[in-house]
A and B are shown apart, each in its own frame.
Chain A
Amino acid sequence: MKYVIIGNSAAGIGAVEGIRQVDKEGEITIISNEPHHTYSRPLISYLLLGKTTEEKMKYRGDEFYDRNNVNFIHATANKIKKKQVLLDNGERVDFDKLLVATGSSAFVPPFEGLASVKDKFTFMSLDDAYKLNDALASDKKVLIIGAGLIGLKCAEGILKRVAHITVLDLAPRILSSILDDDGAKVVQSHLEGKGIEFKLAGSVKVFEANTAVLNNGEKIDFDILVLAVGVRPNTALLNGIADIERGIAVNAKSQTSAPDIYAAGDCTQTLDVSSNQNKIMALLPNAYMQGECAGLNMAGGEKNFDKAIPMNAIGFFGLHVVTAGNYSGDVYAKTESNDYKRLFYSDNKLNGYILIGNVEKAGIYTSLIRERTPLDKIDFALVCEKPGLMAFTKEDRMAKLS
């Protein structure tokens, strides 16, 4: 059996580990357009912060490819034709089962005048991080467009190494995809306390070299521009071959609509069981699990990836934020000194939560969402107050612990 995996990040690595649980012999080839050993993308901000090194960023150990007998090809996959992947170097790679784990790319809006900006960067890959790193200097002013996860982790990573950071976002609050208004204020004021300046509900009308002119006429001078507006799934390889909606459409077995072609990770859209909607959930844990599921199925095993929910654990300068699910329904709210908690529930189910500060045992809440646990089967009042196994029935506790 010839397995080919396009992509060398979480989903691709998950697929290798999934395949090898079932098939120790089949030929596995990873095609990657990056030359690097598999690394953890979310760590690029920690690299600039000096909290990790390229060596420690390796997502799996040095022996990973050898131990799993993986053939690694550094090339760009240009096209899929019948049972072959055509590479930019002219080579063709045959496959019996193919996984498309091509990830996502930074979305760069067509801002007027963007071409006049000399030092502009995106922040998705190790190479992006090195390029940005080379431009940093203590007298430089940085403008980051996008107050999302990527933009703010970038800000944290480089704050100490530059003169000033301004973060601009179209949305009226920071981290708008994972926080509510009040939670966003908590995190924003923490970041402002560290020296980061925010311009919210604003957008760039035009760039004039080192100046951004906003729609309200305000001007922001900068030396370095970071574009962290959002990401788009890399779906082009399957154009005309498999169903693509917002991302590549896959079923619970990670199969696309094309025979013998699977897809996993940021390039796909997945059913969010907390809202029952198909979404692009560009998240590393989901990518790994979906990739592993794909690998198991490619190798003839049986596995469903059918409990996906949006979930994020992120921290800024020691302030931790853990969120999951969707924020619809009734709200349990508790704010105590620096700890912020919101639980969202309806129809006897927990839909989502936001924890800032104290995030202890957050996984108890995540599990209630993921498993769609009926809330009348647990002591919900207790679990709101204090997440723990105590909220479950004695029978359930025994099942979990013995």
Chain B
Amino acid sequence: MKRVYVNEKWCLGCHLCEYHCAFAGTNGKDMARSLKDIKINPKIKIEEKDGVSFAVSCRHCHEPLCVKGCITGALSVSGGVITIDRNRCVNCYTCILSCPYGAISPSEDGAVQKCELCIKTSKGTPACVEGCPNGAIVFEERR
């Protein structure tokens, strides 16, 4: 299946992926208007230090420790994509404890959040990939 891959060599550290991710979750039409005065909490997050930067989001692991460890069954794999049933999540954070990439984070609405490859919000390519101006984030079939 296609997954999101990142290459730190091309990452500009511009954080646009984070804004596109946050915007994809709003169902809005205009990014600037939708995110105005909002402190965004994206599912993809840039790590940066000393001139190095890269984006981190869910790897959709073959052996997903978050899914196996989920105490409620809210996290599951469907067609290779790890998704969350927000209705069943109780915010216990066992997935945050389990994810070796730090790719699951708390959110404001009573359930954790993670990248679902935009399958619930758009068709085709994830917003972070579409929005990356330098090809540092790609959506490809690799293994």
With both chains docked as a complex, state the minimum distance between the C-beta of B124 and any C-beta of chain A, in angstroms.
21
- On whether the beta carbons of B102 and A366 are closer than 8 Å, the reply is no
Q: Are A359 and B88 in contact (CB under 8 A)?
A: no
Inter-chain CA distance A43–B59, complex, in Å, is 28
Known A59-B72, A387-B102: A402·B6 in contact at CB below 8 Å: yes
Q: Which residues of B contact A401 (CB under 8 A)?
A: 5-8, 54, 56, 59
Complex CA gap A52/B71 in Å reads 13
**Band of interface residues on A:** 35 or more
Determine the distance from Cα of A314 to Cα of B8 in the docked complex, in whole angstroms. 34
Which stretch of A99-107, A214-222, A389-397 is in the interface?
Answer: A389-397
Question: Is A382 located at the chain interface by the 8 A CB criterion?
Answer: yes
Partner of A400, one of B59, B93, B104: B59
One of A111-119, A181-189, A281-289, A343-351 at the interface: A281-289
A43 near B54 with CB under 8 A, answer no
- Among A57, A61, A361, A389, the residue within 8 A (CB) of B96 is A361
Q: How big is the B interface, by class?
A: 35 or more
Instruction: Fill in one digit per residue for B65-76: 1 if any A CB lies within 8 Å of its CB, else 0.
Output: 100111111000
Within 8 A of A (CB), among B88-127: 88, 90-102, 104-106
Tell me what chain B mostly uses at the interface: helix, strand, loop, or mixed.
loop
Is there contact, CB below 8 Å, between B97 and A56?
Answer: no
A-side contacts of B52, CB under 8 Å = 390, 394
- Chain A residue nearest to B66 in the complex (CB): A363
Contacts of A364 in B (CB 8 A): 100-102
Please state if A284 and B71 are interface contacts (CB–CB under 8 Å): yes
A60, A315, A388, A402: which has the most chain B beta carbons within 10 Å? A402
29 A-B pairs (CB sep. < 8 Å):
A40-B72, A40-B73, A42-B71, A43-B71, A46-B90, A285-B65, A285-B70, A288-B68, A288-B69, A312-B97, A313-B94, A322-B93, A359-B97, A360-B102, A360-B106, A361-B96, A361-B102, A362-B102, A363-B65, A363-B101, A364-B100, A366-B97, A366-B100, A367-B100, A389-B102, A394-B8, A398-B7, A401-B5, A402-B6
A289 touching B47 in the complex, CB below 8 Å, given contacts A58-B73, A361-B96, A401-B6: no
CB of A267 within 8 A of chain B?
Answer: no
Name which residue of chain A comes closest to B52, CB basis: A390
Interface mask (B8-35 → A, CB under 8 Å = 1, otherwise 0): 1000000000000000000000000000
A52 to B102 Cα, complex, angstroms: 27
Bound-state CA distance A50–B25 (Å) is: 28
